[in-house]
Copies of this chain bind each other. A is one copy, B any other.
């Protein structure tokens, strides 16, 4: 008998997808939001939200039998059905997720990088509905605010049911610290809803983790198990991927053991419209639009835009966060703490011009001017000035 939730071996049962998505890889399906759609609305529609996969999309064939296992260094291991989870207090959190590989393709200009190519659309904002992880961990005997459990747990591993080639057909796994998982300010959610509707298959149906302020790689989809451990996940994506390396490290001299897994992402900003290479009549009035955000719940202090390749800068205007009425009814008021800022600037363009954008966060962190100093073999965390 098949398990109630399982990862198929083939791509025969993939869900339907929006034809507007920019497809970077068909199998596994990896696709991003077109830049102009990103800046249409503060909340990204689920069907246009970027899809990041490492294998065929898992299938829930028996919702009654599905249980989330909570185990490891806890005092009371749990097995929770979807109904059990839905009976717990429901919370909605607005979170911008960004793939660590967002803007990867551009890094190839410096030197070839390895990984699925991504433009600037491996990012999106949704309202996620579900139960706070700290509440579930409390049921398992670990109180909110715990950094180290009584049994020595310091990390929380999330396990999926998908079959990843990087894991030789095994499931995707990743972990975060117990401190983040148990923090009442951390807002880590076990989500069963996205934008006021049932979580779509591409986004982890029936259950996923959403870790605010952290690279998307830790927000594990098709969640089947939550394990409290003394050490980090030993999975591929925690130990052999999603780490930071200097430009001097390449495949012939890499030592994965020397680095920490990436968690919070750095300050980021990109121009979405006008599109790259778009023809614009000299002297015409144009509204430049883009996004900016910072990891770890840090806010955006300022967005600077240049239309003369960085010689002079003008500050962009922020658009207020807004939630569609239909979603708002379902989710109530949400904070924009974990979200991007959409911004605009009206300019009169002269040809040829190079538009550049950069942002500063509330801790005065800035974006690097060029890609050469942050190039890395896996092509992650490209937050250079966007031109």
User: Hey, which bits of chain A sit against chain B, CB under 8 A?
Assistant: 145, 184, 244, 246-248, 259-260, 262-267, 295-296, 301-302, 304, 310, 312-315, 358, 360, 362-366, 368-370, 373-374, 381, 383
Contacts and interface: CB of A to CB of B under 8 A. Distances in A.
A103 to B, nearest CB: 13
A304 B259 CA distance: 14
Contact of A369 (B260, B267, B373): B373
Nearest to A296: B363
Contacts of A296: 296, 363
Contact of A363 (B265, B358, B369): B265
A176 to B, nearest CB: 13
A305 to B, nearest CB: 11
Given A266-B364, A369-B369, A246 B302 contact: yes
A250 to B, nearest CB: 13
Contacts of A312: 248
Given A362-B263, A364-B262, A381-B364, A244 B369 contact: no
A14 B363 CA distance: 35
A interface SS class: loop
Contacts of A310: 373
B366 A373 contact: yes
26 contacts: A145-B184, A244-B360, A244-B364, A246-B302, A246-B304, A248-B312, A248-B314, A260-B362, A262-B364, A264-B362, A265-B364, A266-B363, A266-B366, A267-B365, A295-B363, A295-B364, A296-B363, A364-B383, A365-B365, A366-B366, A366-B373, A366-B374, A368-B369, A369-B369, A369-B370, A369-B373
A383 B361 CA distance: 14
Contacts of A368: 366, 368-369
Copies in the complex: 2
A266 B301 CA distance: 13
A244 B300 CA distance: 12
Contacts of A248: 312-315
A49 B251 CA distance: 44
B366 A244 contact: no
Given A265-B364, A358-B373, 19 more contacts: A246-B304, A247-B313, A248-B313, A248-B314, A248-B315, A260-B301, A260-B362, A262-B364, A263-B363, A266-B363, A266-B364, A267-B365, A295-B363, A296-B296, A310-B373, A364-B383, A365-B365, A366-B366, A366-B373
Contacts of A381: 364
Nearest to A183: B185
Contacts of A302: 244, 246
A358 B314 CA distance: 27
B246 A313 contact: yes
Nearest to A100: B364
A296 B381 CA distance: 20
Contacts of A360: 244
A262 B301 CA distance: 10
Q: Which 10 A-B pairs have the closest CB atoms?
A: A264-B363, A266-B364, A365-B365, A266-B365, A364-B381, A366-B368, A369-B369, A295-B363, A266-B363, A296-B363
